[in-house]
């Protein structure tokens, strides 16, 4: 996943915890509480969420998904992103300019061969989701570049049925 990366890596919001570590917060299930869900992942989902993989651009399920709805962690079901904040970044991966639920996102420094990036993981399951980049053409100047394999899309008309009814109101005018 490419992009301009000038985000302040000294920012105190970054977690020192690596995805896969248990949270000290007793409100969250420990990573190993998701063993059953992890075992049911496809090979691609496992590679992305558990091994910090990246799926190919333009050859993934959700990069061009245009229906209204929310995106949840494929492992834990944590609400992460909304179609209201999704945009076409031209990269071939689902891109959002802000999370639906910032409390469900962990940002951490991710050193790599091309410098330090910002990795995005889910708070509860510690699933690797993708990376955060600067993007001057969005309302937040940010691009959350996510892997489809880490996300499950819940269409707006299925939110109640799937247990995410609290998000239905944001899509009322679109149904």
Q: Give percent helix, percent strand, percent coil of the chain, each to the nearest 5.
A: 25, 25, 50
CB distance 124 to 47 below 8 Å: no
Nearest to 133 by CA among 116, 157, 151, 121: 116
> Is 39 strand, coil or helix?
helix
Nearest to 121 by CA among 132, 135, 133, 134: 132
Which residue of the set 145, 151, 156, 159 is catalytic?
A: 145
Task: Please say if 119 is a catalytic residue.
Answer: no
> Is 131 strand, coil or helix?
strand
Q: Which residues pair with 102 in a beta bridge?
A: none
Q: Which residues are catalytic?
A: 145
């Amino acid at each position: 996943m490419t992009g301009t990366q000038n985000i302040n890596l000294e920012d105190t919001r970054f977690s020192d915890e690596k995805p896969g570590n248990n949270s000290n917060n007793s409100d969250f299930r420990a990573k190993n509480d998701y063993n059953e869900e992890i075992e049911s992942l496809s090979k691609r989902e496992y590679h992305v969420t558990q091994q910090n993989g990246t799926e190919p651009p333009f050859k993934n399920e959700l990069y061009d998904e245009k229906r209204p709805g929310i995106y949840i962690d494929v492992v834990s079901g944590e609400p992460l992103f909304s179609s209201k904040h999704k945009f076409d970044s031209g990269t071939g991966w689902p891109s959002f300019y802000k999370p639906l639920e910032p409390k469900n996102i962990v940002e951490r420094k991710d050193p790599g061969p091309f410098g330090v990036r910002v990795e995005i993981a889910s708070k509860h399951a510690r699933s690797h989701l993708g990376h955060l980049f600067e993007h001057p053409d969005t309302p937040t100047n940010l691009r959350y570049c996510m892997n489809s394999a880490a996300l499950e899309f819940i269409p707006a008309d299925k939110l109640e049925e799937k247990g995410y009814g609290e998000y239905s109101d944001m899509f009322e005018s679109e149904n």
